[in-house]
Amino acid sequence: MSGLVGVTDICTQVTSRCLGISSNINSLGGSSIKYLWLGIFSLVLVWSGINPKDQFTWFLEVAPAIIGAVLVVATYRSFRLTPILYFFILAHCIVLMVGGHYTYAEVPLFDGLFGAERNNYDKVGHFFQGFVPALLAREILIRKNVVNGDVWRNVIIVSICLAFSAFYELIEWWVALATGEDAEAFLGTQGYVWDTQSDMALALLGAVCSLLLLSAFHNRQLNFHNRQLKRRVG
């Protein structure tokens, strides 16, 4: 319980610097912010790996976060993202690592929340599964000029997020078939017959919320990025 509170405190310290600053695309490019991102990720990763509830589940849940961090580092120079996207990628990674440490069915503070009969931390994870990929897809589509028009872009973004969520459910199924009872904690259904459908619905909700709440702020950071590129070319 104290570990979860500590992780939350660490996250709040970086929030104001990643989101409260101006739309400066280089705000995360400074060495202090860059290493702060990596430091927070590494600290939470180490914490999550210390005596996790189930070692196999920890590996399954944390693997996507590690893959994401590797991609962030590998593309930092060639395709630097906006600060808001870096922040939410880190937040998503932390959600995964916390779930891996406790297993999604036993994360503190989420037992019986709002009268629920189950631990609903997994629904937080699936909300982020739509919320963050929507922002990532939006940035790639805009910067690569893949789609013209906001309406069609948003339709494609939501479709990508739903496809990603459905594919993740297939991965869970494949893991369950391959490992049997060892995957029970990874599946995290907790006896809920509509778990798969509700997971995808939360991802859909997350994608829609991301587009509605963050598009304007995201546009400001993208515009600043474009101005910086023009100055370099000029």
pLDDT of 28: 42
Which residue from 147, 142, 162 is spatially nearest to 222, judged by alpha carbons? 142
pLDDT of 189: 52
Residues 137 and 189: their CA atoms lie apart, in Å, by: 28
Across the range 180-194, mean pLDDT stands at: 59
pLDDT of 186: 56
Q: Let me know: does 128 contact 143? Beta carbons within 8 Å.
A: no
How far from 187 is each of 11, 29, 99, 155, 163, CA to CA, in Å? 27, 37, 12, 29, 18
**Model-wide pTM > 0.85:** no
**pLDDT surpassing 60 at residue 77:** yes
Q: Let me know: does 103 contact 97? Beta carbons within 8 Å.
A: no
pLDDT digits (tens, 9 = 90+) for 40-53: 999 999 999 999 98
* Cα pseudo-dihedral 57, 68, 14, 49, rounded to 10: 30
pLDDT digits (tens, 9 = 90+) for 29-38: 456 788 899 9
